[in-house]
A and B are shown apart, each in its own frame.
Chain A
Amino acid sequence: MHQNDESEIIVTIPEEGSITIQVVNVKGEGCKDLTAPLERKLGVKISDTPTKEMYEEARIGERTNNRY
Chain B
Amino acid sequence: MSHVVAIEKSITDLDALRRACPGLGLEFREGQRTYNWYGTHVGDYPLPVGFTMEDLGKCEHAIVVQDANANTYEVGVVRRRDGKPGYTLLFDFYAGGFGLMPCIGKDAGRLLKEYSAEVSIAELKRMGRAVTKHYNENGDVVLRAKVRA
Contact = CB atoms under 8 A, between A and B. Distances in A.
Q: Indicate the size class of the contact surface on chain B.
A: 35 or more
A11 B143 contact: yes
Contacts of B5: 20-22, 35, 39, 45, 47-49
Contact of A3 (B123, B127, B136, B148): B148
Interface string B128-149: 0100000010111111111111
Contacts of A60: none
Interface in B5-33: 5-10, 12-13
Interface residues of A, number: 43
A42 B1 contact: no
Contacts of B109: 14-16
Contacts of B6: 18-20, 45-48
